[in-house]
Amino acid sequence: MTKEQERARARRRHEEQQKTAKPPVSDSTRDKQVFGVILAVILVIAAVIVVPKLVGSSDTATPAAGSTTSVSTPTSSGGLAAGQKLAAGCTAPPANQTTPKQQKQVPAKATAAGKTFVATVKTTCGDLTFELDGTKAPQTVASFINLAKTGFWAPSPCHRVTTEGIYVLQCGDPTGTGQGGPGYTFGIENAPKDGKYATGVLAMARTSDPNSNGGQFFITYKETQLPTDGGGYTIFGKVTKGLDIVDKIAANKALPPSPTDGIPVSPISILSVSVTEKKA
């Protein structure tokens, strides 16, 4: 075979190889591919970060009127905070508790079942007297008696007052934050199906969880309509003396930013609670 024939064969072989070879990727095409990969990675990361937040937000319940509510307390060191003023007959509140007494077990409701009790609540604005109904709300009354005897509320502020739409003074969290509890919770008893709470009613505060009753309670100083979602709020007694004190605190409303729902302008704190059984 001559050199000319060898060159011709080599040229044909090269041409055949070129026909089956994949064309090279241009710079612009390569850039598009790289950008596509980067975009896909970004979308995956975004899905991981954003989706749980969207899903989680639907699980976050808004506390209803009369429920436990997180608030910042201005009296963690005692005395008056900026904007607060004492109502007539009141003294400056003591410092809030930082570590309330905790318990693990819900008190036995048998200790209160079928009985009526009288609670004397000493506050920085005078004494309040409650009548507790152990027949209609035995578990709640048993818990109230237990917390009184163990000094759970000594001292504790009434950390929330509402003055529009609903009319309550909420107390029972020793920390004053709206998040403190005794270490146990229990369910609803004796909640009105129509959501109507008469003036002077003593009822339990809770979150959206029907089984979140603990140590916080509220007093209605005017007739109040509350939501019935989740079962309503346990009525376990009534105020028989001192409702004028609650009226006086409510009249001065709440601190900014919301004068209709928040920390009272005129502070009131529980100093001690004693309970005795009411004899027939």
Q: What is the pLDDT of residue 78?
A: 79
Torsion of Cα atoms, 77 then 206 then 100 then 269, to 10°: 40
The token pair that represents 9 in the structure block: 């064969």
Residue 207 domain flag: yes
Q: Would you give per-residue pLDDT tens digits along the chain (280 residues)?
A: 555 555 556 555 544 444 333 333 333 334 444 444 444 433 333 333 222 222 222 222 223 444 444 454 555 567 899 999 999 999 999 999 999 999 989 999 999 999 999 999 999 999 999 999 999 999 999 999 999 999 999 999 999 999 999 999 999 999 999 999 999 999 999 999 999 999 999 999 999 999 999 999 999 999 999 999 899 999 999 999 999 999 999 999 999 999 999 999 999 999 999 999 998 7
Decide if 139 contacts 186 (C-beta within 8 A).
yes
Residue 130 domain flag: yes
Q: Does residue 229 sit in helix, strand or coil?
A: helix
Dump the DSSP string for 179-192: ----S--B---S--
Decide if 104 contacts 184 (C-beta within 8 A).
yes
Task: Give 89-136 pLDDT, tens digit per residue.
Answer: 999 999 999 999 999 899 999 999 999 999 999 999 999 999 999 999
Euclidean distance between CA atoms 1 and 10, whole angstroms: 13
Residue 162 domain flag: yes
Residue 70 domain flag: no
Closest CA to 129 of 280, 273, 260: 273
Rg of the chain over all Cα atoms, to the nearest angstrom: 34
Task: Give 246-272 pLDDT, tens digit per residue.
Answer: 999 999 999 999 999 999 999 999 999
| Peptide bond preceding 174 in cis form (omega within 30 of 0) | no
User: What is the span of the domain harbouring residue 158?
Assistant: 109-277
Residue 8 domain flag: no
Residue 191 domain flag: yes
- Name residues whose C-beta falls within 8 Å of residue 33's C-beta, 6 or more positions apart in sequence: 25
Q: What letter does residue 113 receive in the DSSP assignment? A: T
Phi and psi at residue 276, to the nearest 5°: -130, 150
Residue 72 domain flag: no
Q: How many domains does the chain have?
A: 1
86 Rama sector, left if φ>0, alpha if ψ -120 to 50, beta otherwise: beta
Euclidean distance between CA atoms 121 and 45, whole angstroms: 56
Closest CA to 265 of 248, 246, 278, 252: 252
CATH number, residue 270: 2.40.100.10
Q: What is the pLDDT of residue 279?
A: 85
Euclidean distance between CA atoms 264 and 162, whole angstroms: 9
The token pair that represents 52 in the structure block: 């749980």
Closest CA to 75 of 265, 245, 261, 250: 265
How would you label 21-57 residue by residue, b for 16+ Cβ within 10 Å and e otherwise? eeeeeeeeeeeeeeeeeeeeeeeeeeeeeeeeeeeee
Residue 199 domain flag: yes
Euclidean distance between CA atoms 100 and 144, whole angstroms: 15
